[in-house]
Amino acid sequence: MSELVLIAASGLAREVLTMVRASGQYDVVGVLDDDKEMAGITVDGAPVLGTID
């Protein structure tokens, strides 16, 4: 299984996260977002690792 980091923690990212997990092809390591306030929280169980910078 390949590891994957998603970019953006918006509502659409949550939908993509659900679809990616359902595929069984990727292990979602975490999420990056341009909002530094998001760092450290989780989005549907995936940690927000930091910003995209």
Q: What's the pLDDT band for 52 if we cut at 50, 70, 90?
A: confident
User: Helices in 1-53 by DSSP H: which ranges?
Assistant: 11-23
From 44, 50, 34, 41, select the one nearest 13 (Cα to Cα): 44
Q: What is the pLDDT of residues 3-50, one digit of tens each?
A: 999 998 888 888 999 999 999 999 999 999 999 999 999 999 999 999
pTM of the model: 0.83
* Tokens of residue 39, six digits: 């760092």
